[in-house]
Amino acid sequence: MASGNFLDDVVREILLMLPVKSLLKCKSVCKSWYTLITKPSFISAHFNCNAALKRSHCILVKRVLPEHVPPTESVLSFLSNEISSDDHVPQTEITISHFNHFLQMVGPCNGIVCLTDHRDIFLCNPSIRDFKVLPAPSFNYPQGLFSTTLGVGFGFDPYSSEYKVIRIAELYEDDESGGYGFHSVNVEIYDLSTNSWRKIDTVVPYVWYFPCSEFLFNGHFHWWADDKDHGGESMLSFHISTEVFQQIRLPDVCAFPDGKERAFLVLNESIALLLFNPSEQTCFDIWLMTEYGVAESWTKQFTIGPLVQVEQPLLFWKHELLLEKANGRLSSYDLKSQRLKEFQVYGAQESLRAIAYKLCNSSSSQCYPGVQFDQ
């Protein structure tokens, strides 16, 4: 006669093989199945099983439609694998009305993205249009000190099967006369399994925000920051599992403020630093960190441009660089043909963000969600 443990193992293996649409229905079968399916370890295992299946790569674009007054309603749009047509339009749209124009999108991690306006934070599962608004940190600070968000990160710890949100916060003094004084920088971590925040005792440099400055790569989350050891600027990395910070110096050519914008993207499985000055004729200097974490490995690869009326870079996608033009339209620059083209995807100026995303090979919109959030 089969033992209970054996039967449990068989059930788990069967559930791991199910498509997401069926798996979500199985949560309602019984309490034990619900408990199993919502465990972070099962979620990670199911994601890995599905990764072996044929999947469809797409682009997830965040934008604010300029005809909305005021322009505070963000829209998430899925763009198909091939974006070769000049009349390309989004496949699916998800409207988010709670957050403001400057909504930042980081990720994805196992199908989940983190969205924040550096005030409120929530996790989003675009595949099944599911959201989880995170509780606000509620730490007790000395009287007269206030907290504001400098940077936000998000990732998954495979060792603890834990999703983590990292908040780098500035503590400042605000006296009755309206005076402002910097006090310190704190690091706070939200654990999805406990739905709570905790502080870690560490010293980090001041973090600055700009589009494409916060990203997950190689098990680390990254921000643009001051270089407290050498002066100037650096890339601050945080290891999701060990919760250890590291500062990585930028190329010597960086000398903020130098009038140039920065962007961190991923190109050929390496971190790319783009330096540019938005103008009528914009050029992008592309630097690659050829050995992760080694500042001396920064190497200038090539220059793109000049390109006419380009606002900001968004994403390297196959052999193209996706861009936002000054008119708010999504565009792409083909690295091979060196041609620039526009798409019928647009947003309010400087509102576009783009990340590479994966969906199951299914005609249904209920593709692999990574995890489902229960409010």
pLDDT at 26: 81
Per residue of the chain (375 residues), give pLDDT as tens.
Answer: 444 565 676 677 777 777 666 777 788 888 888 888 877 777 767 766 665 554 567 888 888 877 666 656 778 888 875 555 444 555 556 676 655 556 788 889 888 899 888 788 989 888 777 788 899 888 877 777 888 889 999 999 988 888 999 999 988 887 665 556 777 889 999 999 899 999 999 989 999 888 888 999 999 999 999 887 777 889 999 999 999 999 999 998 887 677 788 999 999 889 999 999 887 788 999 999 999 999 999 999 999 989 988 889 999 988 899 999 988 899 999 998 999 888 888 888 888 899 988 764 433 333 444 455 554
Rg of the chain's alpha carbons, rounded to an integer? 22
Q: How many CA atoms lie within 13 A of 199 on its CB side?
A: 12
Contact 274, 303 (CB under 8 A): no
Tokens of 91: 């496949």
Looking at residue 164, its amino acid is K
pLDDT at 372: 54
pLDDT at 367: 41
pLDDT at 232: 80
pLDDT at 255: 74
pLDDT at 361: 42
Tokens of 168: 């780098």
The backbone torsions φ and ψ at residue 46, rounded to the nearest 5 degrees and listed phi first, read: -65, -40
Cα 180 to Cα 175, 177, 202: the distances in Å are 7, 9, 24
pTM (whole model) above 0.85: no
